[in-house]
Structure 1
Amino acid sequence: MWTTSDLKFLSVLKLKLNKTITPTYLNRLVGVSIKTPSDFITAASGTDVSLCLQKEIKTGEIPQSDVIYAKLLSCWTSNLKELMTKIGPGRKLTSVVNTYIGRYPLMAVIYGIAGNKTVDLPYPLNQDIFLAVKEAKTFANLIESLKKKGREDLKPVIEILQNYRDYEISEVDPYDFMLKARETFWSMVADEVRKAGGGEALTRCMNRVRKVIPLIHEVRKAELAEHNISKALQFFDPKEQEILKATAEDYGRLESFLIFGEFFRCLNEIHLSPLGIETLLQYLILKDWETFFVTHIIYALSMGYSPEYLKQSLERWLWLYELTSK
């Protein structure tokens, strides 16, 4: 099934997983005194993200969280694209990669359609996409603008936008668009995974991520409106209900699960899989989480948050990962 180039690409990613901050890696950091971004970079020495931080974050600088996120995202996605160019894996693997990382320009489209004309996009990496949305009056115009960029990671975005081709951008409800776009996106990822030969566990996992997207927003609404998520629980599977009940009393833990809980479940279900498409998804999911997590930590340390705050954050993520593995 896999070519020599495919296996070489997957083998390199398998090795790179050892240089990625994973939820279990946090055990190494909990007992370390970390007071500044430099302390964190030192503590995470040997990881790819540590090297990226050394290059991109200047000592004493207090960058905005969106800038940190964009720089970290650019580091690993650019590296991944260079790796694909160098090794030349087949269409199935490259299609999964380009579809998955298409979620980042999709974020820019979602923010642009939200109509926020007075502030910059929270993800500067895709500022050009955000500006394209602002300049286009219709989805047809936006689609043509994105096509001209010739980027592989824009193909899933364009495919999603085709559903709105006959509408003006101002006609679409931003919240409804966000939900449908994200659900459609994860359906596309699940489909690419299936076509690439993903096993039953991985396919089931990706489909679960797709189905839970609109439910997550229902939980958030229930929590914000009533501080009671019990009515929303009926729509989740038994494992999800168990985790939601365990996190409901702590908003920080609840929000952590809503953001990455399903992905942690995926990791726990596929981490022992042999070399294959599961290896690629492990890498993509972990880099996704690592970027989010490290952004939060570096920004908090830059703003002078206490070591105790950092310790609590590390322990919360560890607790959630362990909970999803039971």
Structure 2
Amino acid sequence: MTTTAALLRRLAGLLPAPAGPETAPEVLADRPDGTVVRSGRTVAKAHAPDGDPQDLAARLRVAAHPLLHGILLPPLPVTAPDGFLTLTDDGRALTRWPYGSPVPADEPDAAPWEDAARLLARLHRVDIRQLPGPVPPMRGPAKAARALTRMRTALAPGGHPVPLSTAAAAVERAWALLPAWARAAAPPPRTDLLCHGDLHLGQLVRHPAPDGPWLLIDIDDLGPGDGAWDLARPAAWFATGLLAPDIWSRFLAAYRAAGGPAVRPDGDPWPGLEVPARALTVQTAALAVAKAAPASRPLDEIETAVVDACARMTPLPHQLAPSGPDVG
């Protein structure tokens, strides 16, 4: 556990009183970039220590806006009717949320891929001009850049096994092939869609629990950007063989049927998905190496697959041809 006792006490103070003196809040997640605890129907979250509270406050206002009802899980007030965060003494943001039932990890066939796609389509169709602003930009490319920094830091002392050094070299080469915007080194080509920024199945819950409708959670990366980024992780998994073709087809079809504007309504979607899918593959591979390095362990099968996909990447043509994925 990375959370201090003092932080846990602060989080517990945002939750309803426990049912009895021996009932302590349940820790649902505890990572360096976020801690979530639960008591009954309420959860409290400590956001990343290096996050910007002003940007988070803007994103919380968006999540609470009526236009996002039925799409994003709305935050609960913390300090006032419209105050959705509070700060620790060292400036770390804390928030409150309704509890939602997550996707069952032991039921892969029941994963709500189509529901996720429809939620994304609805999110991408929200008129940003009607939201309380300004809304900070979607942080997807910035997260990819941080993954590369984390990998480089993990490998900096040297002395790691040769396979990890080889893997890191493949990741660096694939990273260098990406355009500047996908590396957070330039503005994205489009900023007209409201994006989640970090879509995966862990970002969905049923609310009210346990069998309410699916909603998106975790708005730390929410903002205007290229909506293709939200489709890129399942696209990358499909292209690297980690997601079955029929699941990818169902996901894409559901997104298009719901009017999702991030890709063309029919035909080959890859001209719009190629760069974000590559970037998410590189991000995933960089994190795999970063996690393996401190333990001096080899990459597992899935980690090897994404690194191998990086090694197979070729330079992007000036104009992408609709010939299918080229990320693995």
The reply to whether TM is greater than 0.5 is: no
Larger relative contact order (Cα-Cα within 8 Å, sequence gap ≥ 6): 1
TM-score, scaled to structure 1: 0.29
TM-score, scaled to structure 2: 0.29
